[in-house]
Structure 1
């Protein structure tokens, strides 16, 4: 555990399931070149990787830095069922530091059911259990819209963690009118995804989204949007 601006360890009651669970087979690692984020830029709305919708599909994303940005190397994988966004996002986060367990193993560790992964505190515990130690903490954002202090802490956590090779896992609520690219525009989506990069000038964050809505796997969104997607849930950082 390390020093933080603010710490909160109360579990967030959040259901991380997609609205229409389904069954799927895992796919082998795709024979594609590693993904270069740098080649695409860091503006909000930029799709870095799209078109790989098959459940279980894996892609390697290379780490990189610019004068204002930093992103980590990850082993991305599309979630294998409609309700494994929690295990898939946890797996992606672990992949920046270690060879991660399968989504199925992580689903067991998380206690994930067909109703999803209940709260972000379960993700925090599984991240720490697999990595050893107590780096990750559960951070709540109960206010919607978030307070300035909550926004400041979120940005600080993103920069602090990514600069030390720790991705974040966020539990989000995406209603119609406030959604990442490709989400079903007529539904509210309760979901988990991984934050593994940032750009300080563009004020954007790089998302690895295991759901692959609309064919989007890796994309940039504004920090402002991320800060509105997490409440009233929380994140592991």
Structure 2
């Protein structure tokens, strides 16, 4: 698979529970042993690693079609040009040359049109994420419509449904007013290069394209978690809506906040998190950018 970054996808056919699902067990089915985060994430590969009905599955081995690969290459080339121009503009500013046509990209920016929406059902974080991003593009859709478009079931919204079909990619393109969304598979433990690539794409998408990113999180017991999430195995979609610190910090909206999920109370509607941390959390699934 040609993805434009190192760390080819190693994705799983059976994975952790979705946000709002019933309590899950530890990866070993009992008390969590003293082990590294990678060991916990690896343990979550097993179907027996979680309990409860909510498992958002990957159907087959995620791959990109030739058209998707071409899209990745073209978009990454555009990102590289934008960032190179921004660096040149920054250097010129430091040298005392000012040109309104060559402003460097801002160190922080958010898409304020991406408004947080609470998910209507415990397994509708995918539809809520699609709704948030679609509304920012002017498409007024309900979560019920979003769920139908994503083919969401009580097991959640699939990351991959086989034959090059990434449901979130197709749905976002339906409502994006022509923006070419592309899925990015991530290894179970993303590399430094994966983090750098996400950071560059994040800055370009938010600051230049004014388009959000849909991230598919894999949180495992004793591993990294999104803000306010409990220490259990959770699968979850979030709407990435901005960045700070030149992309070292990622801003996102979380549909758990304000929902009927039992642990929703401490979850903020709008969040900031280290970019390397959120990319790790997206590991084993990925993001649609």
Superposition TM-score, scaled by structure 1 size: 0.71
Change (3 A) 1:192 1:85: same
* In structure 2, C-alpha distance between the alignment counterparts of 1:222 and 1:11, rounded to whole Å: 23
Paired residues, number: 188
Task: Tell me the C-alpha RMSD between the 2 structures.
Answer: 2.8
Among 278, 281, 286, the residue aligned to 1:226 = 278
Moved more, 211-220 or 227-236: 211-220
CA distance in 2, matches of 1:201, 1:168: 17
- Which structure shows the bigger proportion of residues in strand conformation? 1
Asked whether the 8 Å contact 1:16–1:83 carries over to 2, the reply is no
Contact 1:16–1:118 (8 Å) recurs in 2: no
Asked if 1:211 corresponds to 2:256, the answer is: yes
User: For residue 69 of structure 1, what is the aligned residue in structure 2?
Assistant: 108
Q: TM-score, normalised by structure 2?
A: 0.59
Higher helix share: 2
Give the Cα separation in 2 of the matches to 1:83 and 1:191. Answer: 9
Structure number with larger C-alpha Rg = 2
1:179 aligns with 2:222: no
Aligned to 1:191: 236
Contact 1:193 1:207 in 2 (8 A): yes
Match for residue 245 of structure 2?
200
> For residue 119 of structure 1, what is the aligned residue in structure 2?
159
Instruction: For residue 147 of structure 1, report the CA deviation from its aligned partner.
Output: 1.8
- 1:155 counterpart = 2:207: no
Match of 2:129 in 1: 89
Counterpart for residue 36 of structure 2: none
Contact 1:16 1:85 in 2 (8 A): no
Q: Which runs of 5+ in 1 are unaligned?
A: 22-65
Could you say which residue in structure 2 is the equivalent of 1:35?
A: none
Distance 2:17 2:287 in 1: 12
After TM superposition, give the deviation of residue 195 of structure 1 in Å. Answer: 0.7
Contact 1:16–1:119, Cα closer than 8 Å, also in 2? no
- Are residues 1:141 and 2:141 paired? no
Runs of 5+ in structure 2 lacking a partner? 23-104, 161-165, 258-263
Corresponding residue number in structure 1 for 2:148: 108
Q: Secondary structure at the match of 1:79?
A: coil
Cα distance change of structure 1 residues 9 and 111 upon mapping to structure 2, 3 Å threshold? farther
Who is 1:61 aligned against? Answer: none
